[in-house]
């Protein structure tokens, strides 16, 4: 993979505070500050508070990594706006089995998932602080 990001849709923001390059940003244009947060896009360049900048929202984008993961892995944000591997879902110990009649109608309820998947890694990361190309998804 060549890391030639192909952003098909970019959003423009005014940075409310400093934003680092290749980090996730929220819908107000601020750099992500909570693990698993919803993402509007990936900053294409650094921006100081009050400065205009663009974020890739659709297509591919280069992202800074927050840990180790393989290519083809679903990615989420860490608490500093870097991409990390998404946690796998599992049934909690002692939870009602899906096949139970006691769980009828109460298995899943509405709401926002605990982590927002930003996209899938097109390259592997062997350490935090690397730069990989990510296929953005919504």
pLDDT value at residue 23 = 98
* Residue 2, pLDDT score: 60
93 vs 103, which has greater pLDDT?
93
Handedness of CA 57, 59, 62, 67 (dihedral sign): positive
Contact assessment for residue 42 and residue 31, using Cβ atoms and an 8 Å cutoff: no
88, 49 Cβ separation under 8 angstroms? no
**Pair of tokens at residue 24:** 């996730």
Q: What pLDDT, in 10s, does the model give residues 110-119?
A: 666 778 999 9
Q: Is the pTM of this model over 0.85?
A: no
Contact, 56 vs 10, CB < 8 A? Answer: yes
Tell me if 64 sits within 8 A of 34, measured CB to CB. no
Domains of the chain, by residue range, sit at 1-89+112-138
């Amino acid at each position: 993979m060549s890391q030639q990001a192909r952003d098909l849709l970019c959003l423009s923001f005014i940075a409310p505070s400093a934003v680092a390059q290749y980090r996730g940003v929220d819908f107000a244009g601020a750099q992500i500050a909570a693990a698993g947060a919803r993402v509007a896009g990936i900053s294409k360049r650094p921006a100081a508070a009050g400065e205009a900048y663009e974020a890739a929202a659709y297509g591919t984008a280069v992202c800074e990594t927050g840990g180790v993961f393989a290519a083809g892995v679903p990615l989420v944000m860490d608490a500093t706006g870097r991409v990390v591997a998404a946690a796998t879902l599992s049934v909690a110990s002692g939870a009602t089995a899906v096949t139970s009649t006691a769980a009828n109608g109460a298995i899943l309820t509405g709401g926002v998932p605990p982590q927002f998947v930003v996209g899938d890694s097109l390259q592997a990361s062997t350490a935090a602080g690397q730069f990989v190309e990510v296929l953005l998804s919504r």
